[in-house]
């Protein structure tokens, strides 16, 4: 009898606690998402409403998006950003895959030394690199056949060698069982064929994460593009959004539309890859 009462009490207690938990978690969701809701709703208002106190638009002004797109020249910036991202990604993935494979599965003198020297540079703040790299890039543009400033090389080539990607892929490649390699060798496959036909198809998840992270990184970079571009020819979307925000000033319905246009591609990619993404982030974090 007493036991039953206790159980009942415990159940009641736990439902109360459950409600409490849900309320807190929902408050968290609201706080995380309110800026997005406000952004979207403001982006659909007319200017008067946007500067007023309304939280939701009385009628939907989708034409704000067209106007923001036109005024901010988003076509050009989008094309620039996508080109920059693609060139960077192709280079970075190719080079990182090759290097990570060699560091993980091949033996050569100086392997650990080279890897640890490269790894130690991850601690150095970007500001230390920014100034000399700017000078290097200017110099390379002045001696080489094509200019680097205001052109794609300055925006892409420095980011093709990524120690972070190499590190992450190396961790994964090292886990591929040796038996697979032995079997491939018996079949007469060398390292390159083993890499392309066995290892890569097994590593879709880390490749996806590197892809998304580099995409976000390139999409979000600001200081470096500001330095190495001074005309809109190759300026990425981040710089475009920044100058649009200053230019449009008080027309916040337009700037919010611009912000949403910038966020949307990243959100779409995130929702398609969120499972691998959060899991890989969690795993990489735990390894520390």
Partner 1 sequence: MENKNSLKDILTGRSGRKIKEVITAYAFIAPATILIFIFGIFPVGFALYVSLHKWRIKRSDFIDLRNYVNAIGNLAYVVVFFLGVAALFGLFLLFRQILKMARENSEKPWLTILPGLFYAGTTFAFFRWFYAALPEVLGIADKLRGMERSQSIFMQFLREALRAETVLPAWRTFLWLFLASMVVGGLIYWFWRNKRTMKYQSFFALAFLALGAGVGLIYYTFQRVSAAYAEAFEAGTDPGIWPQFISISAGVFLLILAWMLWQRAPKRNSKGGFLLHILAAAALLVGGWLLIGEIPTIIASGDKDLWEGLKVTVFFSLGTVPFQLAIGLFLAVLLFQKVRGSNIFRILYFIPYVTPGIASAAVFQQMFSNRQSAPVNMFLKFLGLQPQQWLYEPRGILTILGDTLGFTVPTWAAGPSLALMVIIIHNIWTYVGYDTVIYLAGLGNISKEMTDSAEVDGANRWQVFRHIIFPLLSPTTYFLSLIAIIGTFKAFNTLWIFRSNLALGTTDTFSVTIFIEFFEKLRYGYASALAFILFGIIILLSYINNRTQGSKVFYG
How many residues bind to partner 1 according to rule CB under 8 A? 98
- Residue 221, SS3? coil
Show contacts with partner 1 in window 257-276 (CB under 8 A).
258-260, 262-263, 266-267, 270-271, 274
Q: If you write DSSP's letter for every residue of 48-112 in order, what string do you get?
A: HHHHSS-SS-SS--THHHHHHHHHTTHHHHHHHHHHHHHHHHHHHHHHHHHHHHHHHH---TTHH
| CB-CB neighbours of 262 under 10 Å | 21
**Structure tokens that stand for 39 in this block:** 């952004």
DSSP state of 45: S
For partner 1, what does the binding mask look like between residues 69 and 108, x meaning CB under 8 A? Answer: -------------------------xxx-xx-xxx--xxx
Nearer to partner 1, 76 or 265 (CB): 265
- Residue 19 sits in the site that holds partner 1 (CB under 8 A): no
- In angstroms, give the least distance from the CB of 159 to partner 1: 8
- Residue 158 sits in the site that holds partner 1 (CB under 8 A): yes
Q: What angle do CA 277, 124, 131 make, to 5 degrees?
A: 110
- In angstroms, give the least distance from the CB of 63 to partner 1: 20
- Residue 48 sits in the site that holds partner 1 (CB under 8 A): no
The residue from 5, 53, 175, 231 that contacts partner 1 (CB under 8 A) is 53
The residue from 11, 19, 25, 86 that contacts partner 1 (CB under 8 A) is 25
- Residue 135 sits in the site that holds partner 1 (CB under 8 A): yes
- In angstroms, give the least distance from the CB of 36 to partner 1: 7
- Residue 188 sits in the site that holds partner 1 (CB under 8 A): no
The residue from 64, 80, 221, 229 that contacts partner 1 (CB under 8 A) is 221
- Residue 174 sits in the site that holds partner 1 (CB under 8 A): no
Q: Which stretch binds partner 1 (CB under 8 A): 25-33, 70-78, 171-179, 201-209?
A: 25-33
- Helical residues (DSSP H) of the chain, grouped into ranges: 2-43, 47-51, 63-71, 74-105, 111-120, 126-143, 152-156, 163-173, 178-186, 191-194, 200-202, 204-220, 223-228, 237-248, 252-287
For partner 1, what does the binding mask look like between residues 223 and 252, x meaning CB under 8 A? Answer: x--xx----------x--xx--x------x
DSSP state of 44: T
Residue 109 CA to residue 234 CA, distance in Å, equals 41
């Amino acid at each position: 009898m007493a036991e039953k009462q206790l159980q009942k009490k415990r159940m009641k207690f736990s439902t109360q606690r459950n409600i409490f938990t849900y309320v807190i978690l929902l408050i968290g969701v609201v706080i995380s998402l309110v800026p997005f809701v406000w952004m979207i709703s403001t982006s659909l208002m007319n200017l008067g409403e946007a500067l007023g106190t309304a939280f939701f638009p009385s009628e939907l002004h989708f034409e704000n998006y067209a106007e923001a797109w036109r005024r901010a020249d988003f076509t050009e910036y989008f094309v620039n950003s996508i080109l920059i991202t693609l060139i960077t990604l192709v280079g970075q993935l190719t080079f990182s895959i090759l290097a990570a494979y060699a560091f993980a599965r091949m033996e050569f003198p100086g392997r650990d030394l080279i890897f640890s020297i490269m790894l130690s540079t991850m601690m150095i703040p970007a500001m230390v690199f920014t100034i000399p790299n700017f000078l290097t890039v200017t110099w390379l543009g002045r001696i080489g056949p094509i200019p680097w400033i205001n052109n794609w090389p300055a925006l892409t080539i420095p980011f093709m060698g990524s120690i972070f990607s190499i590190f992450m892929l190396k961790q994964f490649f090292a886990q591929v069982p040796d038996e697979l390699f032995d079997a491939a060798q018996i079949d007469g496959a060398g390292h390159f064929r083993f890499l392309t036909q066995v290892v890569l198809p097994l590593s879709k998840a880390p490749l996806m994460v590197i892809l998304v992270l580099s995409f976000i990184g390139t999409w979000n970079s600001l200081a470096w593009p500001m330095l190495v571009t001074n005309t809109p020819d190759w300026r990425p979307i981040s710089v475009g959004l920044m100058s649009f925000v200053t230019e449009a000033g008080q027309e916040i319905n337009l700037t919010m539309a611009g912000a949403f246009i910038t966020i949307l591609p990243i959100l779409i990619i995130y929702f398609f890859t969120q499972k691998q993404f959060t899991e890989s982030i969690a795993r990489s974090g735990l390894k520390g």
